[in-house]
Amino acid sequence: MQEKYDKYTIIVSERVDKRLTTHARFLAKVSIESAMRLIQEFETAVKSLETLPERNSYFSAFTSKPRKYRKLLIAKRYLLVYQIKDNIVYIDEMFDCRQNFKFAWLLEE
């Protein structure tokens, strides 16, 4: 059973950081406001995980450990996949739900 903490530390993977940058750059070509909104919603979502990361449902697709990862939808179309270990939340992946995304990183477990 997982302990409850007052505040969790958030660690965003380099992969997620790169994907956010890529998506924001793409959006900025069409609308700078949309790109800024994506970044703001990402930051708000990450901040919210500091206090209540257990609130989101489990992400069980493509993994042999169905209760390891959780998911959080942001900006209506981006899925953050994260795991909680003690008082640390690791954001491991970010997907655009409109695209055919790959789960190769889950096979590395």
At 52-77, the pLDDT tens digits run 999 999 987 666 677 889 999 999 99
Tell me what pLDDT residue 67 has: 86
Residue range 9-98, CATH number? 3.30.2310.20
Mean pLDDT for the stretch of residues 75-100: 91
Please state whether beta strands 69-74 and 58-59 pair in parallel, antiparallel, or not at all (unpaired).
antiparallel
Q: What is the pLDDT of residue 37?
A: 96
DSSP 23-41: HHHHHHHH-HHHHHHHHHH
- Give per-residue pLDDT as tens, 10-43: 999 999 999 999 999 999 999 999 999 999 999 9
Mean pLDDT of the region 42-57? 95
